[in-house]
């Protein structure tokens, strides 16, 4: 499988500005640009081709192709997918120095067939590894989860979902219009913690017109990223059992 690493961003991002780099993903972590941890894990997991989308940089391991930052998440994703080849593509964020080859391999081996496979990580898995780490969680009837920083896309199928993705992003500052689009009933059930994963998948499939699946993932490394220097401290913290 080929991969796209989304490493774009602005030098005005607080973390990027603090270190004087072009994107948060190039902030040094233990002497290495943060994105190198993602590149290294993808290589070790056997990813065939890596397309890096972001500011030009000398990286080790080097991606197979560097695509300049296009200025937005969707534009970067489209540019990366255009170069990644057909079939299924792994999409990874470049701001996750926690990611491991084992977590990537697990996802590649367990992802179901769908236009989009989105990993969700149980809160208890994150808390076991990093007690007290702050994450954003959603309460569903099936449990409490945080979202992943790796997804798997079927490039050809997902192309059909892009117009709706752009529409949702355009409405992100218009909550009433966005609520009407997603469905008020769905949002109410989500806020009350009564929405199931199956209902969420069904609504996403109806909204985007392609099959989408959530994948409960046991590796907490998939669901964390670094937004501040404070987050780097968690790299020194092992499992709760001391490993």
How confident is the model over 2-46, as pLDDT tens digits?
999 999 999 999 999 999 999 999 999 999 999 999 999 999 999
Which pLDDT score is estimated for 241? 41
The structure's pTM equals 0.90
Burial of 173 (0-12, 13-18, 19+ CB in 10 A): exposed
Which pLDDT score is estimated for 237? 65
Which pLDDT score is estimated for 90? 97
Would you say the C-alpha torsion 183, 189, 190, 191 has a positive or negative sign? Answer: positive
pLDDT band at 233 (very low <50, low <70, confident <90, very high): confident
Residue 7: count of CB within 10 angstroms of its CB: 31
Structure tokens at 40: 């290294």
Which pLDDT score is estimated for 238? 52
Mean pLDDT score of the chain: 92
Is-contact 125 220, C-beta < 8 A? yes
Average pLDDT over residues 108-114: 95
Q: What are 73-86's pLDDT values in tens digits?
A: 999 999 999 999 87
Residues 6+ apart with CB under 8 A from 87: 1, 2, 154, 155, 156
Residue 94 has pLDDT above 80, yes or no: yes
The residue among 65 and 228 whose pLDDT is bigger is: 65
Structure tokens at 6: 């989304």
Q: Which domains does the chain have, with CATH numbers?
A: 2-156+210-229 (3.90.550.10)
Average pLDDT over residues 106-134: 95
Q: What are 131-180's pLDDT values in tens digits?
A: 989 889 999 999 999 999 999 999 988 888 989 988 888 887 787 888 88
pLDDT band at 240 (very low <50, low <70, confident <90, very high): very low
Residue 69 has pLDDT above 80, yes or no: yes
Residue 243 has pLDDT above 90, yes or no: no
Q: What are 207-226's pLDDT values in tens digits?
A: 999 999 999 999 999 999 98
3-state SS track over the chain = CEEEEECCCCCCCHHHHHHCCCCHHHCEECCEECHHHHHHHHHHCCCCCEEEECCCCCCCCCCCEEECCCCCHHHHHHHHHHHHCCCEEEEEECCCCCCCHHHHHHHHHHCCCCCEEEEEEEHHHHHHHCCCCCCCCEEECCEEEEECCEEEEEHHHHCCCHHHHHHHHHCCCCHHHHHHHHCHHHHHHHHCCCCCHHHHHHHHHHHHCCCEEEEECCCHHHHCCCCCHHHHHHHHCCCCCCC
Is-contact 125 67, C-beta < 8 A? no
Residue 100: count of CB within 10 angstroms of its CB: 16
């Amino acid at each position: 499988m080929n991969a796209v690493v989304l490493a774009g961003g602005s030098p005005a991002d607080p973390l990027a500005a603090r270190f004087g780099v072009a994107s948060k993903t190039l902030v040094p972590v233990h002497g290495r640009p943060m994105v190198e941890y993602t590149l290294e894990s993808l290589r070790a997991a056997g990813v065939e081709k890596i397309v890096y989308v972001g500011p030009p940089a000398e990286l080790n391991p080097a991606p197979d192709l560097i695509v300049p930052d296009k200025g937005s998440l969707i534009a970067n994703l489209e540019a990366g997918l255009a170069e990644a080849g057909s079939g299924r593509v792994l999409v990874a964020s470049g701001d996750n120095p926690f990611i491991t080859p084992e977590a990537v391999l697990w996802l590649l081996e367990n992802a179901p067939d769908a236009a989009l496979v989105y990993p969700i990580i149980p809160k208890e898995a994150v808390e076991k590894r990093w007690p007290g780490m702050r994450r954003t969680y959603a309460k569903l009837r099936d449990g409490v989860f945080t979202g992943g920083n790796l997804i798997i896309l079927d490039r050809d199928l997902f192309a059909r979902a892009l117009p709706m993705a752009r529409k949702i992003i355009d409405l992100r500052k218009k909550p009433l219009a966005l609520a009407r689009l997603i469905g008020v009933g769905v949002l109410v059930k989500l806020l009350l913690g009564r929405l199931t994963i199956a209902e969420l998948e069904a609504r996403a499939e109806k909204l985007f017109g392609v099959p989408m699946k959530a994948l409960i993932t046991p590796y907490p490394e998939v669901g964390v990223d670094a937004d501040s220097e404070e987050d780097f401290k968690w790299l020194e913290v092992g499992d709760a059992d001391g490993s």
